[in-house]
């Protein structure tokens, strides 16, 4: 064993290094692998994988830990936390960015914005870019530019044999297609090159009303959403903010309704006009409690949805829904806007359609999502057994109540727990993707990294 190999060791339980490597975004998920390690470049990652294989252990990749509950419970594995010491590199002329393992979307936004460019990121700036791309990725710009995975052009993939492979449309198109939305399990993504899009100005923000006007606001939003310009991507939520949240008191006095989102400012479709077509009729229904919609730049978008930046314990539920008629809206409101959902932090409808529903020639195995809305429900856990049990019950009620509008599929990046109903694509596609995994990882070293919805049933 060389000196370098001796200096590189897997951390054991009870050490600070181990604790740092297994930390997740969802504090209710406690990873307890045999060993853990944080790696800062491809060389260290190669050593970690080799050491795991020498011990007969699998490898579980962890970046920010946002999807740590969507994969199988840990077995005999080593958690390899990726935190590569490489900055985002932007090629302005080609409109592309190269990002590395552990890079967060907020870093990409910061690097691209000075050039009038954006990546196809989601609502949270703290989500890891590469895991998000493996799961398709529903972006705040998605209705204009499609799923995030469609923007992926090449990757550097470190496979179980220690080889760092360049995977692109020329070298291995089948593998690239599987990586784009395939749900993981191919190896360790060391880096990726993604397309950027020209966006210099947007309308963005959030507007809030008392819960009492939820039925009227929801009806107006759904009517607008059916034929909305694809430059607009919005969400409708009921939210119960905690009393200690650093927010205006009127938002903490009780449950509130929120419409937030992003409208890209484009020639012939000014963002202010498109946003006004949505917001002005809603403002006439009731005077908002707080209204932050404004004309701004892409960096403003990273805080619009107010996703928590710090880890917290929670449970969630997710479905992809079809159009909500009056009965569907009433069903949603029966949980979201009543005491039936009193212990839920929020019940959200994320607008789909547009380019998200269309896919394209440059897309991978998951290049589109069918349905009108992504339902995401979240309850924060506080350690009180009775109250936390109510959260679980209310999540189940939300799923049961909205089942008549369920498309039968889910979005991998919204996956909520290791549950049977998670389903990314049809059985034939799942078998095709698994065959590609078997080709590049025949021993199944990375098998634990496959999200539930992408597994063969």
Query: What are the structural domain ranges in the chain?
Result: 3-82, 89-198+424-441, 202-414
Q: CA 457, CA 447: separation in Å to the nearest integer?
A: 15
Q: CA 112, CA 15: separation in Å to the nearest integer?
A: 38
How many CB atoms lie under 10 A from the CB of residue 137?
29
Q: Check: CB of residue 373 under 8 Å from CB of residue 350.
A: yes
Q: In CATH terms, is domain 3-82 a member of 3.30.420.60? A: no
- For the domain spanning 89-198+424-441, the CATH number is 3.30.465.10
Strand bridging mode 77-82 / 58-62:
parallel
Is 187 a residue whose pLDDT tops 60? yes
Confidence of residue 8 (pLDDT cuts 50, 70, 90): low
Confidence of residue 3 (pLDDT cuts 50, 70, 90): very low
Q: CA 344, CA 328: separation in Å to the nearest integer?
A: 19
Q: pLDDT tens, 384-440?
A: 999 999 999 999 999 999 999 999 999 999 987 777 788 999 999 999 999 999 999
pLDDT value at residue 457: 78
pLDDT value at residue 34: 95
Q: CA 68, CA 30: separation in Å to the nearest integer?
A: 9
Q: Check: CB of residue 70 under 8 Å from CB of residue 414.
A: no
The CATH fold assigned to 202-414 is Vanillyl-alcohol Oxidase; Chain A, domain 3 (3.40.462)
Percent of the chain, pLDDT > 90? Answer: 91
What is the three-class DSSP state of 25?
Answer: coil
What is the three-class DSSP state of 150?
Answer: helix
**Stronger pLDDT, 5 or 373, i.e. the higher one:** 373
Is 164 a residue whose pLDDT tops 80? yes
Confidence of residue 223 (pLDDT cuts 50, 70, 90): very high
Q: Considering only 114-118, 218-222, 414-418, which range has the smallest mean pLDDT?
A: 414-418
Average pLDDT in the 104-109 region? 97
Question: CA Rg, the chain, in Å?
Answer: 22
Q: CA 176, CA 172: separation in Å to the nearest integer?
A: 6
**What's the chain's average pLDDT?**
94
């Amino acid at each position: 064993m060389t000196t370098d190999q001796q200096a590189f060791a897997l951390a054991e339980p009870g050490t600070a290094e181990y604790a740092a490597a297994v930390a997740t975004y969802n504090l209710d998920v406690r990873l307890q692998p045999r060993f853990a390690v944080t790696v800062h470049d491809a060389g260290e990652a190669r050593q970690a994988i080799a050491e795991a294989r020498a011990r007969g252990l699998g490898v579980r990749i962890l970046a920010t830990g946002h999807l740590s509950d969507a994969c199988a419970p840990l077995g005999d594995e080593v958690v390899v936390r990726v935190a590569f010491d490489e900055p985002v590199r932007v090629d302005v002329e080609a409109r592309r960015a190269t990002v590395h393992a552990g890079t967060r979307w907020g870093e990409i936004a910061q690097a691209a914005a000075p050039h009038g460019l954006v990546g196809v990121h989601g609502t949270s700036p703290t989500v890891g870019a590469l895991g998000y791309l493996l799961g398709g990725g529903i972006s705040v710009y998605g209705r204009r530019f499609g799923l995030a995975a469609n923007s992926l052009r090449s990757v550097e993939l470190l496979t179980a044999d220690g080889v760092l492979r360049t995977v692109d449309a020329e070298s291995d198109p089948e593998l690239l297609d599987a990586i784009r939305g395939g749900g993981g399990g191919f190896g360790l993504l060391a880096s990726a090159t993604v397309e950027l899009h020209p966006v210099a100005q947007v309308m963005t923000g959030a507007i809030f009303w008392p819960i009492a006007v939820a039925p009227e606001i929801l009806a107006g939003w759904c009517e607008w959403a059916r034929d909305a310009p694809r430059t607009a991507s919005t969400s409708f939520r009921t939210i119960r903010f905690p009393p200690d949240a650093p927010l205006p008191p009127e938002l903490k006095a009780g449950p509130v309704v929120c419409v937030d989102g992003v409208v890209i400012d484009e020639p012939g479709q000014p963002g202010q006009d498109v946003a006004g077509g949505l917001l002005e009729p809603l403002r006439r229904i009731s005077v908002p409690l707080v209204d932050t919609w404004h004309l701004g730049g892409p960096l403003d978008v990273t805080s619009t949805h107010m996703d928590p930046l710090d880890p917290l314990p929670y449970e969630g539920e997710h479905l992809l829904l079809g159009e909500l008629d009056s009965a569907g809206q009433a069903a949603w409101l029966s949980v979201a806007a009543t005491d039936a959902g009193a212990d839920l932090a929020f019940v959200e409808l994320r607008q789909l359609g547009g380019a998200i529903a269309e896919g394209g020639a440059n897309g991978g195995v998951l290049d589109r999502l069918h349905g009108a809305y992504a339902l995401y429900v979240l309850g924060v856990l506080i350690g009180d057994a009775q109250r936390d049990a109510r959260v679980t019950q209310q999540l189940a009620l939300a799923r049961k109540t909205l089942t008549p509008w369920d498309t039968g599929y889910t979005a991998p990046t919204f996956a909520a727990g290791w549950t049977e109903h998670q389903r990314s694509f049809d059985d034939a596609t799942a078998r095709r993707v698994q065959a590609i995994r078997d080709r590049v990882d025949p021993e199944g070293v990375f098998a634990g990294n496959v999200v539930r919805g992408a597994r063969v049933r």
